[in-house]
Structure 1
Amino acid sequence: MTQRNPEDYEPVAEFANNAFYDQGFPKQETHFDELSKYLEENAPYLPSMTIFDDAWVLYQAQD
């Protein structure tokens, strides 16, 4: 969610913006596999899982 920016149209920012509005998105989940599974099954707004992979790298860099 830290990558949200309604003014930014970069893929990771768009993903974060869309995930924010996804009522079912597990926002508190911290495990890659659980998030990945959710997105693969429930996120038509994510055109490529590579975008999630990029977002995950950014997320891990913040820890």
Structure 2
Amino acid sequence: MRSFYHFLLTYRGKKKPDEKSKLADWAFFDHNFPKHSTDYDELSSYLEWNSPFTSALVTFDTLWNEYTR
């Protein structure tokens, strides 16, 4: 299974950014983002402490559901 980060990168670079692409762009530029993780708790905890915008955790949960399908 590929990491969540690699899944997330598929949302980068939209001309009209939405919440998903904002999170993807932020993770790309955050050198400490757990790029090799496939663990929900690790990623969720990281975002709780380093949330780039107010709806980032909700966006993460939405993307996590897509990732685990």
TM class, shorter-length: 0.7 to 0.9
Give yes or no for contact 1:3–1:12 (8 Å, CA) kept in 2: yes
Alignment match, 2:54: 47
> Residues 1-63 of structure 1: matches in 2 within 5 Å?
1-43=9-51, 45-48=52-55, 49-61=57-69
Deviation per CA, 1:9-38, whole angstroms, max 9, x where unpaired?
110111111111011101111010100000
What is the total number of aligned residue pairs between the two structures?
A: 60
TM-score (structure 1 length as normaliser)? 0.80
- Which residue type is aligned with residue 59 of structure 1? Y
Partners of 1:19 and 1:6 in 2: CA distance: 15
Give the CA RMSD over aligned residues. Answer: 1.4
- What letter matches 1:58 in structure 2? E
Higher relative contact order (CA 8 A, sep 6+): 2
Unpaired stretches in structure 1, ≥5 consecutive residues: none
Segment of structure 1 superposing worse, 50-59 or 33-42 = 50-59
Normalised to the residue count of structure 2, the TM-score between the two structures is 0.74
Identity rate, percent: 38
Q: 1:19 aligns to what SS in structure 2?
A: helix
